[in-house]
Structure 1
C-alpha cells in the first residue's frame, strides 16, 4: 500500500532542526566528542594567531568567531543532523508505504580501521567490525528495499511476513520512482529499525493510525454500498 501524503504532513514528520535522537546520533562516542573538541581548540588558536597578525581591526569579529568555533564540539551535531534533514526534505513528493518483511538476516560489516603499534614497534591496522541487522521489505506491487541497522536485542521478534511501514520520497508526483526511504516501523512489535532516526516517530505513528482508520472506514462504506446494490 502506498498513499501520497500532503507536504504539510511530510514536514510534520520530517523535522528541519535536529531532534533529540538525531543529536544523540551525531554526538557519537567519546572519541567523536574528542575529535570535535580538538577542532574547536585548533580553530580558537588559529583565530588568536590571526588576531595578532591583523591587529586591532580584527578585534570586532574575533570574539564572535571564538564563540562559534569554541563551541563547535556542542553545536556540531545540531549542524550535521540539520543538514541531513534538509537533504531529505528536498524531495518534492512523499508517501506513506505499508508492506511486509520479506527477509531478515545478520551480517558483519566493516565500520572503520585504526592504526596501532604492537610490542615490536610494527604498525598494525585493526579493523572495527559491527554485527548489523539486514531487513528486506516489499509489497505486492513489486517494490523492495533493504535497510541495514545496528543489531540490538529488541530485534529478536522480527520475522518474515510482519507488517512494515515507512515514509518514501520521490521527485515524481505519482511516486513511481522511489528516491529515498526512511526508518522502518513494525507496528506489531512497536519497534523501529534504522541506522539514523529520520522521522519524528510519534507523529509518524499518528499519521499511520489516521490513514488506517480512514482506510477501514472506506472499506466499511464500500461493503455497505455493495449490500445495497444486491
Structure 2
C-alpha cells in the first residue's frame, strides 16, 4: 500500500529543526565531543586575539560571536542534524509505504582502518569492521528497497513476511520513482530499523495506526515487478 502524503504531514514527520532523537544521534561518541570542544576552544582563543589586535571598539560585536563559538560543542549537533533533515526535506513529494519484510541477513562491513606498529616495528593496517543487519522490504506492486544499519539486539525479532512501514520520497507527484526512504517501522514488534532517526516516531505511529484502522488488506501479497506506483482508491491523500 502506498498513500501520498501532504506537504504539511511530511514536515511534521521530518521537521526542519533536529528532534531530541536526532540530537542524540548527532552528539556522537566521546571523540566527536572532544572534536567539537576543541573547535570551541580554538574559536574563542582566536576571537580573543582579534579583540586584542583591534581593541575595545568592536567588543560589543565580538562578545556574542565568542559566546556562540564557545558553545559550539553544545549546539553543533543541532546544526548537523538539521542539515541532514534538509537533505530529505528538499524532495517535493512523499508517501506512506506499507509492505512486508522480504529478506533479513547480517554482514560485516569495513567502517575504517587504523595504522599501528607491531612488536617488530613493522607498520600494520588494522581494519575496523562492524556487524550490520540488512533488511529488504517490498510491497504488492513489486517495489523493493533495502537498508543497512548497525546490528542491535532488538533486531533478532525481525523475520521475513512481517509488515514493514516507512516514508518514501520522490521528485515525481505520482511517486513512480522513489529517490529516498526513511526508517523502517515494524508495528507487530513496535520496532524501528534505522541508523539516523529521520522520522518523528510518535507522529508516524499515530498516522500508521489511523491508516491501518481505515483499511483492511484486500489482496494477497505478491512481491517483485513494479511497473508504476499504485494507490488505494479508498484512502485519500493524507
TM-score, with length taken from structure 2 = 0.86
Q: What is the deviation of 1:116?
A: 3.9
1:25 matched residue in structure 2: 25
Count matched residues. 220
Are residues 193 and 69 of structure 1, via their aligned partners in 2, closer, same or farther at CA, if it must alter by over 3 Å? same
1:68 pairs with 2:84: no
Counterparts of 1:173-188 in structure 2 under 5 Å?
173-188=173-188
Q: What is the deviation of 1:89?
A: 1.2
Q: What is the deviation of 1:26?
A: 0.7
1:199 matched residue in structure 2: 199
Using the alignment, how far apart are the partners of 1:24 and 1:6 within structure 2? 28
1:169 pairs with 2:175: no
Gaps of 5+ in 2: 220-232, 234-238
Counterparts of 1:28-39 in structure 2 under 5 Å?
28-39=28-39
1:56 matched residue in structure 2: 56
Secondary structure of residue in 2 paired with 1:188 = coil
What CA RMSD, in Å, does the superposition of the two structures yield over aligned residues?
2.1
Q: What is the deviation of 1:124?
A: 4.1
1:103 matched residue in structure 2: 103
Are residues 217 and 99 of structure 1, via their aligned partners in 2, closer, same or farther at CA, if it must alter by over 3 Å? closer
Are residues 11 and 108 of structure 1, via their aligned partners in 2, closer, same or farther at CA, if it must alter by over 3 Å? same
* More displaced stretch, 122-131 vs 72-81: 122-131
1:91 matched residue in structure 2: 91
Q: What is the deviation of 1:126?
A: 3.0
Gaps of 5+ in 1: 223-230
> Comparing both chains, which one has the higher relative contact order based on Cα–Cα distances under 8 Å and sequence gaps of 6 or more?
2
1:146-188, CA deviations, whole angstroms, 9 ceiling, x for partnerless residues?
Answer: 1011101111111111111000111111001111100000111
More helix by share: 1
Are residues 137 and 72 of structure 1, via their aligned partners in 2, closer, same or farther at CA, if it must alter by over 3 Å? same
Q: What is the deviation of 1:29?
A: 0.7
2:16 matched residue in structure 1: 16
Using the alignment, how far apart are the partners of 1:25 and 1:18 within structure 2? 10
Q: What is the deviation of 1:112?
A: 2.3
TM-score, with length taken from structure 1 = 0.89
1:160 matched residue in structure 2: 160
Using the alignment, how far apart are the partners of 1:22 and 1:189 within structure 2? 22
